[in-house]
Amino acid sequence: MKWYGNLNNRFIERTSGQTPEVGMGVTECMWSDRHPYEIIAVKDDRHITIRRLNAKRTDHGGFSECQEYEYTSNPNGVVYNLYKNKKGIWVRRVGRNGVDNSSGWYVGRAEEYYDFSF
Whole-number average pLDDT of the chain: 83
Tell me what percent of the chain is helix, strand and coil, each rounded to the nearest 5.
5, 40, 55
In contact, 34 and 27? CB cutoff 8 Å: yes
> What is the predicted pLDDT for the residue at 36?
97
- Domain map of the chain by residue range? 7-107
Share above pLDDT 90 across residues of the chain, in percent, rounded to a whole number: 46
Region 106-118: mean pLDDT is: 86
Position 81 scores a pLDDT of 94
pLDDT in tens, 32-64: 889 999 999 999 999 999 999 999 999 887 777
Which pTM does this prediction carry? 0.80
